[in-house]
Amino acid sequence: MPDLVPRAEPPPAVSADRWWRWRPGPLRRPGDLLLAWAGLLLGAVVAAATPLTGYAVGTAVYDRATHSARAQVDAGRHTTAVLVQDVPRHPEPGSEEEQESRYPAKVRYTTADGTVRTATAEVAPGLTAGDRVRVWTDAAGALAEPPLTAEQIRSRAIGSGILAGAGVLVLGRLAYMAAAWAVRRRRIAAWGCEWERVASRWTARP
């Protein structure tokens, strides 16, 4: 016998109304409108502050790094050093990682005043004792990190600007969450007061 009871149909999908806080109605609470205004104001502030902050931080980092690199170039110099020990080989010869890897090794070099020194420098893997490498020395003749290249400075400035902009977005989100938490706390307190008022009527004896 065929089933005469029709199968239940799933309920129709209800699309979320993103503008319900702005529409007046009996179910809209004062806190809902407050959150709507808070979201609008914070969104405007974040939209304006994010690119400005990113640009300001990126520019500051770029200027500072450029000034530092120029100071290093003026005070230090490139010189040739000789390895006094073999450098271990990379476990993956010919790989891109090998080209970027550097191992510590002792080198001997001569400073600007003619003094011969021995120190530890970061060199490419696979070199042997007696090979020559280029090192950077500071004003005192000690080994130092070479100045940043223009590409490195640009990459550092862009990265700093992106991080600063992301920080503004995070702060804006946290500010909205704090506002929502405050509204929720106030709403719960109002519910508690209303419940005490109503409960006293229900439990009052004649």
b/e sequence 93-112, b meaning 16+ C-beta within 10 Å: eeeeeeeebeeebbbebeee
- pLDDT tens digits, one per residue of 145-200: 889 999 999 999 999 999 999 999 999 999 999 999 998 888 888 788 878 777 77
Sign of the alpha-carbon dihedral angle for 155, 157, 162, 163? positive
Give the whole-angstrom CA distance, residue 165 versus residue 124. 37
Give the whole-angstrom CA distance, residue 105 versus residue 121. 6
Give the whole-angstrom CA distance, residue 93 versus residue 101. 11
Give the whole-angstrom CA distance, residue 37 versus residue 31. 10
Give the whole-angstrom CA distance, residue 55 versus residue 160. 9
- pLDDT tens digits, one per residue of 78-133: 899 999 999 988 888 777 787 788 899 999 999 888 899 999 999 989 899 999 99
Domain map (residue ranges) of the chain? 31-75+149-201, 77-137
Q: Which residue has the tokens 């938490």?
A: 181
